[in-house]
Amino acid sequence: MSASSRTQLFSSPANIFSNQATTHKLDSSLAFVCLPRHNNLLCRMSQAKEAKLWGGRFEESVTAIVEKFTESISYDKALYKHDIRGSKAHASMLAKQGMISTSDRDSILEGLDEIERKIEAGEFVWRTDREDVHMNIEAALTDIIGEPAKKLHTARSRNDQVLTDFRLWCRDAIDTIMESIKRLQIALVKLALNNENLIVPGYTHLQRAQPVLLQHLLLAYIEQLERDAGRLQDCRVRLNFCPLGACALAGTGLPIDRFMTAEILEFTAPMRNSIDAVSDRDFVLEFLSANSITAVHLSRLGEEWVLWASEEFGFITPSDSVSTGSSIMPQKKNPDPMELVRGKSARVIGDLVTLLTLCKGLPLAYNRDLQEDKEPTFDSVKTIIGMLEVSAEFAQNITFNQERIQKALPAGHLDATTLADYLVKKQIPFRTSHDIVGRAVALCVSKNCQLKDLSLEEMRSLNPVFNEDVYDYLGVENAVKKFCSYGSTGSACVASQLDYWVKKLGINRSSP
């Protein structure tokens, strides 16, 4: 995926939601069309109404209000590339099974190529009276090649067709999101590499707790993102089964080869149960759930950086290139991108809730309600990729204020737990050690000093086990040095963690 493609897709929300029929492409395999669904300026009918492809038993056309309410072409045209790919696989299978001639197959493939060319050139006319992407493409194919096009829908329903398209689209979307996750991980690792040995306060309950290396804190987010990628990969494995050939719900009496179409489309296998194939959306629910968890992780990162950019913390300074100002207060410099990351997590979670509510209580098999699965899925994907991309951009454009952090470190007695460890090493039970250190902190509070400022006599007044070596455990620098457990914030442990991620992500340490 090129940087220009990503920019085209996400950098201009105004273009995405304009009144123009705009298709944004990504790697020529993942396309999004985000258009107002009921805007009469979109998808104008340039011809008179034609008979529906399903209209044989009907004597009247649907009313304009019904047509406007039930159309999906205003958004599901995003599936055009996947619909064409599925139709090509289906036509090839029909020819191999002797249900259409090779000549008809070739005409169909050539016609589909022409339709794809027209769509990508902006020459294709999307018609609302043709309802959806599938009917638009099939009807256009008939306009181009005539009678052979009418054979394409043999042993296929829109039910299995749309699920095939949608699974292909989601598969491509997952791959794209995983690339964006990796880019953010790389940005965070590089940020860590550029801030070696910087100690920051670690917090619990938003109260100062223990000193940690900044690198260790950043690596925590990298670990979370790795699990996010793992959830998406697991989802991809489960969704990668082919519904094509399940037809409306019961399969077909025609001699199709579902294994052939599954192989052509790079699915693991056909779905085993035709009713399940057309009626279930758990693959989308799992996908949007994974996106929601990622969004929550990004929201937490955003919250931390928004706090740290405040005057009260002052730990980071975002560059002007990732900040905004105030229309009334000229002094303001706001970390708006990360505030929006925090805010947009609500959209991604809402998209999941929409799908969960949509699927609750639906009887088997297909129900028209399920047409409503596309828009929240498209929105979830667009939003989560935007959140990942801007988080990576923000990470590349912030500076940690080491002097401010250094001045802030003494507050909070961050070395108290390390002092308790010292007593444990002197064979004092931990609960007793905890009590002794608690009284030492109380003494410091009364004297307005740090633990390291207490004299040895004052220490021994609390417990005679204290000796001169206690001062090797006091102060944030000494405290950090004492951490040695696997996965801890000790320098050696963090260096090992960083080495792991540098290697895993293929990072060149010498590159900026």
Catalytic residue numbers?
205, 326
Question: Are 46 and 66 contacting, i.e. CB atoms less than 8 angstroms apart?
Answer: no
Is 207 exposed, middle or buried (CB count within 10 Å of its CB: 0-12, 13-18, 19+)? exposed
Paired tokens of 386? 């935007």
Question: Are 285 and 359 contacting, i.e. CB atoms less than 8 angstroms apart?
Answer: yes
The dihedral sign for the CA sequence 237, 358, 162, 177: negative
Specify the pairing of strand 269-270 against strand 241-242: parallel
Amino acid (one-letter) located at 119: I
Q: How far is the C-alpha of 502 from the C-alpha of 190, rounded, in Å?
A: 9
Q: What beta strand segments (E) does 349-473 contain?
A: 398-400
* Residue whose entry in the numeric block shows the structure tokens 């010292």: 422
Give kind and range of the element (H or E) at residue 9. Answer: helix 3-10
In sequence order, the 6+-apart residues with CB closer than 8 A to the CB of 77 are: 23, 33, 126, 133, 136
Q: How far is the C-alpha of 30 from the C-alpha of 103, rounded, in Å?
A: 30
Distance spanning both ends of the chain, measured CA to CA: 21
Q: How far is the C-alpha of 298 from the C-alpha of 342, rounded, in Å?
A: 7
Q: Which of 268, 273, 266 is nearest to 251 (CA)?
A: 273
Paired tokens of 303? 């919250």
Q: How far is the C-alpha of 376 from the C-alpha of 35, rounded, in Å?
A: 13
Amino acid (one-letter) located at 451: L
Specify the pairing of strand 199-204 against strand 207-213: antiparallel
Q: 3-class SS at 120?
A: helix
Q: Is the peptide bond before 248 cis (omega within 30 degrees of 0)?
A: no
DSSP H helix total and E strand total for the chain: 20, 8
Specify the pairing of strand 269-270 against strand 30-32: unpaired
Q: How far is the C-alpha of 193 from the C-alpha of 201, rounded, in Å?
A: 19
Q: How far is the C-alpha of 236 from the C-alpha of 169, rounded, in Å?
A: 11
Q: Which of 507, 506, 485 is nearest to 216 (CA)?
A: 485
Q: For the chain, what's the residue count?
A: 512
